[in-house]
Structure 1
């Protein structure tokens, strides 16, 4: 058994499925055939270990297999009148011959046996014991799943609450639920030149795109007013201006993935 993260990197930091964001360029976790086949074979193998064959028309086979498992490998019984249920059942059967004991003893034992049978909601003691063990197992599994889901929900809520931004002329916005990082700013670049390396307001782990435009085009220029921005590393960018007669003010924007995602 493995998580989906064994087949794809498009997962959360805990190796879980994630939603994608089209605007942020974050792809959702794909449903891999290998992972689905693993789940199918895990379930099929457990069922076939306790039932003769798979039945496409029976959607209770997993439950039936767990019942057989519980009957084959019972947990330690809880007590009935001071005995484990199996021991109590044996003793009650032994005591079913009143002539072996005094009448008060026999009456009490037979009464306990009858009351136990009634209180077990129509099941024989052995059947009720198996059902109790299975119910306890299923309850434990369900509680574990609920606890894990609550932890995931808490983590998601905490991440969502910690979205941060520097809202300024040169600034950035980080969505901590996905790790999507957007940055922007402006700068000047001389005629027909490239600027020195400039630090992004905050580092990227990976830059998806970086581009820019001149604020105001010039009326005449042999190079067609070409200007923009490009990332040269996850931490720095450059402005460029191909205009051969005029300097340019360039607004730039970059998007990518923040460190730690």
Structure 2
């Protein structure tokens, strides 16, 4: 298998501050590129914070010009980057929870959250998912938080040929043990690597547990953050074997 380096961007989001969060994302991207990362995944709604009450006013179209700095840097660094944001595909369209991928060729690709957490239906509409990402012989299926709480979601990813499953999430301390047990179970059951990118601090009234993690196919923990804070949780595949490390993101 070819060498590959991936990372969960465990980042703190500024509530409702799109411009400020874009700058924080750009900083994370530069730090990740310095570590040789090729795929970087941010938490759910990372560009705005998990702020349902603000989401309608903050909704962004995938092709919005305000996101161009992220697209430009992804192309410059050859770093495929997945960010979280509230999305409207048209002015009067439904409000979606999106994961937008900026590819190394400058293109953008949207995944929309299919399974809403209880209460989210008051603000958001279920999305339709999206195509997997391809890295040579590797196929990466995306998930946004509650998507992975449905076993059928990971099963479909595996049946579609994904060998990596990447989830941008918001998980609190109370939900951490059962949710990570599910994710580790998918790594074991479906023989695919699982990456979880959690928020690095409180957002939208929720206190994130942090502790973003990566599990190898088979379920072995590769790396996990010790708690909250701005960090990169990195997985490196060399000669078919995964190794991990956690790197603090400084200068924010």
What is the TM-score when the length of structure 1 is the normalising length? 0.20
Greater gyration radius? 1
Higher RCO structure (Cα 8 Å, ≥6 apart): 2
Q: Which has the higher helix share?
A: 1
**Hey, which of these two has a bigger chunk of strand by percent?**
2
